[in-house]
Amino acid sequence: MACVVLGVCGSIAAYKAADVASWLVKQGHEVHCVCTPAALRFVTPLTLMTLSRNPVISSFEDEVDSWVPVHIALAQRADLLVVLAATANTLACMAHGQAPNALTSLYLANRAPVLIFPAMNGRMWEHPATRENVACLAARPHHHICGPAESGMLACGDEGKGRLLPVPEICETITRHLSRA
């Protein structure tokens, strides 16, 4: 089975990463969660560690078990990088090669295909800067922007585009991608 790195970002939808991690493990995949610091405001490392059966990386201080930094070792082992509940901030960092945290550092070292599942307020999603960052990422080889959902109630009470795709659709997209690999 595949080694899947599940990058979790600081959107309210980050809690859905627990369902995705659990589903991936049940499918027999090796799952490693790498969270942005903001993601930990919405989901705990203990939850993700228990469901993924692996330690959660959320800062460079977590990288003490080996002389090879964990974000580099995971990037080398990954068969797929899934960035879930990708925020405008994480998209911008990825698009511009900025690496302020373990997830974006891992992204720069990664050579595996990347599935990006955005989740944010519709106004943020439609902003020209976000659109440019998404276009930049979509143009890169082996990068796939998956979503957001076309419409729905957002956490802020707005109605519209920006909502994370439903978990079954996320899992189906990952399955489709892994079956082609």
> pLDDT tens across 138-170, in order?
999 999 999 997 766 556 666 667 789 999 999
For residue 141, CA distances in Å to 112, 114, 138, 145 come to 10, 9, 8, 12
Q: How far apart (Å, rounded) are the C-alpha atoms in residues 176 and 103?
A: 24
Mean pLDDT of 101-109: 97
Query: Which region among 55-64, 129-138, 160-169 has the lowest average model confidence (pLDDT)?
Result: 55-64
Model confidence at 68: pLDDT above 80: no
Model confidence at 65: pLDDT above 70: no
Dihedral, 100, 103, 107, 108 alpha carbons, nearest 10 = 30
Q: Which stretches of 11-162 are DSSP H helices?
A: 16-26, 45-52, 70-77, 88-96, 102-109, 122-126, 128-138
Mean pLDDT of 54-79: 81
For residue 181, CA distances in Å to 23, 42, 71, 80, 84 come to 19, 32, 22, 9, 20
- Average pLDDT of the chain? 92
- Unique residue bearing structure tokens 């919405």: 42
Mean pLDDT of 82-92: 98
Mean pLDDT of 107-134: 96
Q: How far apart (Å, rounded) are the C-alpha atoms in residues 63 and 60?
A: 5
Note whether 14 and 165 are within 8 A (CB): no
Would you mind telling me the total number of residues written for the chain in this entry? 181
**pLDDT confidence of residue 166:** 95
Highest mean pLDDT among 53-62, 107-116, 148-157: 107-116
Tokens of 157: 């009470």
Amino acid at 133: N
CATH number at 3-121+134-150: 3.40.50.1950
**pLDDT confidence of residue 162:** 79
pTM of the model: 0.93
Note whether 162 and 148 are within 8 A (CB): yes
Catalytic residues: 156
Note whether 40 and 54 are within 8 A (CB): no
**pLDDT confidence of residue 149:** 79
